[in-house]
Chains A and B, each alone.
Chain A
């Protein structure tokens, strides 16, 4: 691990104490087809969404799905910082997704690794389709997301939070972007909105020739029903993938009403404050 000269020296290697306990074998689904937190396979977690939480930022949003907590702030439009990225006809959108060091069971690195950069790129790709960048020529819009706690489905949370923050900032957009992810554990088992233990735990499959195991995430522009990003990982047969994408789209579509309600409430509140 390269030493970070701008931070206090820390030990090179440290281990999470819980690694040295006896690990209980977790089953994805119990006998009643319920998951570890009592949800059904098609049931997403309850969502808490609020915008305007960071007063210093132009726009901000806080998104919570039970234990997964994500906060996002938007700055801009402002002058482009790097001269070589200057574009006359449209603006530039920059996204940064960071994990807080205490957000995962193992203490995270301060220096962003490859997976952090990859997630920032996916976030950028998912949001870009929704923002009217041609309205902001020669300008830059910054989107910063910090994951405060990671309990699975971080990317969908980050994408939804980022789009709400962009609207809160008054950036012109075609539509909000909602996202949802799904865990596939066998061709018949689609687990919507997996928690972190569900994202990686294997399901005991009775049929050994069913190799479908993976994750799919879909980001959607709900009002116009257009998909802006699909990320899939793992081994998935073609029809299983298509079915998973369909389920994800449906789940992301359902998030639209929550997002709309949150934005309308925040607008009502700011109107009330202005009239006082």
Chain B
């Protein structure tokens, strides 16, 4: 009976829960789902992380390879993020080239990495004009249940933090690189951003960490990215119902709080690298 009501009138179904200030999955409007972070599951990748926010599951793998720098930026390495929403993770996605949402997500990650200067491209330079590192950061969504961007950012940052690059020198005579796998230096991460998503139900209620069914019936997602020093890095609000300044302020404050909690996760995992931790 409940399932039929949910299917036919999803908005009314949801309203009946909101009246009691609770959501169908028994969370309050401000409660976040359980977040789990596991670093290093993929040994073929130079850095990897698996993040679960509730049922949403996202895997990030970072691979570092050698290439020639571009002519425009001879002293900078190259960072290529990519968000993949494969047909595996949800029935919404069809197999084939990346859909709009995946492309927007990829650009979001790219913008975030540039704004936060997550990895300084100049750190990736080995020999200017001849040899630089290219970091392929691939984020694959494995289960799509809302807030994929939040999970993707945590996975990306955690995976990058676990990357250690071997020392590479260029042999002057043969012009080929020489790698020493025994000497590894960890990648310098300049910032630890955390993304936090909200959606708005009929301009009144601020829904934190919406699941997929909540994303479908609410209008527009607001994503706020901040770092541990309460610096606002990115505010993304692509359309949707209009919100007041007061609501935006509430969201920003909540995101600062969330950032501090996720930082405990990052720190705990960093101490025991390659292990699980959850909050």
Question: A residues within 8 Å of B by Cβ?
Answer: 4, 6-11, 13-21, 53-57, 67, 69, 71-73, 75, 96, 98, 100-107, 110, 142, 144-146, 148-151
Interchain CB contact under 8 A, A102 and B65? no
Q: In this assembly, does B142 line the interface, its C-beta being within 8 Å of a C-beta of chain A?
A: yes
Q: Shortest distance in angstroms between A100's beta carbon and chain B's nearest beta carbon?
A: 6
Contact with A along B60-99 (1 / 0, CB 8 A): 0111111110100000001011101011111100010110
> CB-CB < 8 A to A148: which residues of B?
41-42, 59, 140
Interchain CB contact under 8 A, B138 and A15? no
Q: Which of B42, B144, B181 is close to A21, meaning CB atoms less than 8 Å apart? A: B181
Sorted nearest first, the 4 A-B pairs with minimum C-beta distance are: A102-B61, A102-B45, A14-B65, A144-B88
Extra contacts besides A103-B61, A144-B87 (7): CB < 8 Å: A7-B98, A10-B136, A15-B177, A20-B178, A73-B88, A102-B138, A148-B59
Interface residues of B in 126-143 (CB under 8 A from A): 134, 136, 138, 140, 142-143
Chain A, residue nearest B50 (CB)? A148
Interchain CB contact under 8 A, B134 and A14? yes
Contact with A along B105-139 (1 / 0, CB 8 A): 01100100000000000000000000000101010
> CB-CB < 8 A to A142: which residues of B?
87, 95
> CB-CB < 8 A to A4: which residues of B?
97
Q: In this assembly, does B215 line the interface, its C-beta being within 8 Å of a C-beta of chain A?
A: no
Q: In this assembly, does B48 line the interface, its C-beta being within 8 Å of a C-beta of chain A?
A: yes
> CB-CB < 8 A to B106: which residues of A?
7-8
Interchain CB contact under 8 A, B110 and A149? no
Interchain CB contact under 8 A, B43 and A21? no
**How many angstroms between the C-alpha atoms of A69 and B166 in the bound complex?**
25
Interchain CB contact under 8 A, B168 and A14? no
**How many angstroms between the C-alpha atoms of A8 and B106 in the bound complex?**
8
Q: In this assembly, does B176 line the interface, its C-beta being within 8 Å of a C-beta of chain A?
A: yes
> What secondary structure prevails in chain A residues at the interface with B?
loop
Q: Which of A7, A17, A54, A67 is close to B82, meaning CB atoms less than 8 Å apart? A: A7
Q: Shortest distance in angstroms between B129's beta carbon and chain A's nearest beta carbon?
A: 14
**How many angstroms between the C-alpha atoms of A265 and B86 in the bound complex?**
28
The answer to whether residues A15 and B88 also contact, given A6-B103, A8-B81, A149-B43 and a CB cut-off of 8 A, is: no
Q: Shortest distance in angstroms between B177's beta carbon and chain A's nearest beta carbon?
A: 5
Interchain CB contact under 8 A, B86 and A98? yes
> CB-CB < 8 A to A102: which residues of B?
42, 44-45, 48, 61-63, 136, 138
Q: In this assembly, does B228 line the interface, its C-beta being within 8 Å of a C-beta of chain A?
A: no
Q: Shortest distance in angstroms between B117's beta carbon and chain A's nearest beta carbon?
A: 17
Q: In this assembly, does B179 line the interface, its C-beta being within 8 Å of a C-beta of chain A?
A: yes
Interchain CB contact under 8 A, B144 and A56? yes
Chosen A-B contacts, 5 in total, with CB atoms closer than 8 Å, are A17-B66, A54-B57, A102-B48, A142-B87, A149-B42
Interchain CB contact under 8 A, A20 and B44? no
Q: Shortest distance in angstroms between B56's beta carbon and chain A's nearest beta carbon?
A: 9
Q: Which of A6, A11, A57, A149 is close to B67, meaning CB atoms less than 8 Å apart? A: A11
Chain B, residue nearest A12 (CB)? B67
Interchain CB contact under 8 A, B68 and A11? yes
> CB-CB < 8 A to A18: which residues of B?
166, 179, 181
Interchain CB contact under 8 A, A110 and B82? yes
Q: Shortest distance in angstroms between A85's beta carbon and chain B's nearest beta carbon?
A: 15
Of the listed residues B78, B82, B88, the one surrounded by the most CB atoms of chain A closer than 10 A to its CB is B88
Interchain CB contact under 8 A, A56 and B65? no
Interchain CB contact under 8 A, A56 and B90? yes
Contact with A along B138-152 (1 / 0, CB 8 A): 101011110000000
**How many angstroms between the C-alpha atoms of A106 and B45 in the bound complex?**
9
> CB-CB < 8 A to B102: which residues of A?
6
Of the listed residues A14, A18, A149, the one surrounded by the most CB atoms of chain B closer than 10 A to its CB is A14
> CB-CB < 8 A to B143: which residues of A?
53-57
Contact with A along B174-212 (1 / 0, CB 8 A): 001111110000000000000000000000000000001
Interchain CB contact under 8 A, B63 and A101? yes
Interchain CB contact under 8 A, B67 and A15? yes
Q: In this assembly, does B55 line the interface, its C-beta being within 8 Å of a C-beta of chain A?
A: yes
> CB-CB < 8 A to A17: which residues of B?
64-66, 165-166, 168, 177, 179
Q: Shortest distance in angstroms between A63's beta carbon and chain B's nearest beta carbon?
A: 14
> CB-CB < 8 A to B88: which residues of A?
54, 57, 71-73, 144-146
> CB-CB < 8 A to B97: which residues of A?
4, 6
Interchain CB contact under 8 A, A144 and B44? no
**How many angstroms between the C-alpha atoms of A15 and B177 in the bound complex?**
10
> CB-CB < 8 A to B212: which residues of A?
56
